[in-house]
Amino acid sequence: SDEDFRKRFRTEAKTQFSLSHPNIVKLIDFQERPDGLFLIMEYIDGKQLNDYIKNDSGPIPETELISLFKKVLSAIKYAHSKKLVHRDIKPSNIMICPGGDVKVIDFGIAKSGEEDTGLTKTGIQVGTVSYMSPEQVNAEKLDILTDIYSLGVTLFQMAVGKAPYVGETNTFKIQLRIVSEPLPNPKD
């Protein structure tokens, strides 16, 4: 019943609907009905990258890592060419399919770099803290560089087998480390 939420839903659905790339999950349809808001997505047979790392691969061997990561980069490059910033790149938003295919999911908080609809404003944090760029932590204006930072954190997790701030459980401490310290050395 929240009209602002419905407006955001329509905007996000239209954003996702405009994307057509082999490494991005396809939105087939979206519906607003009295009993709810619905996204009808392409079915993906696979598992989230974080589960794949945790349960199947551990640190991903370099040859497999490079192949998988190139597909993720291709998807995000395409989104950026459409002037979209994903803003929540993380292993749980990347699906690994049988045969090594990759699908980036959840463009739910993506934002167009060309228009500011006022639905998400500077000063509001969006994203998942462990993968946030310093700009996100500081609730500053975001551009494609925030996705590039999150891609780096995701690559770290793929190569090492765990996220850089896995030992921290306090959101504030993670945010403080993001803005004041370099990423931990993956060799450590």
Residues involved in catalysis: 88
How big is the CA angle at 133 (ends 55 and 26), to the nearest 5 degrees? Answer: 60
**Contact in structure between 112 and 80 (CB atoms under 8 Å):** no
Q: 48: exposed, middle or buried (C-beta count within 10 Å: 0-12, 13-18, 19+)?
A: middle
What is the spatial distance between Cα 104 and Cα 180, in angstroms, rounded to a whole number? 29
CA distances (Å), 13 to each of 26, 36, 122, in order? 11, 14, 22
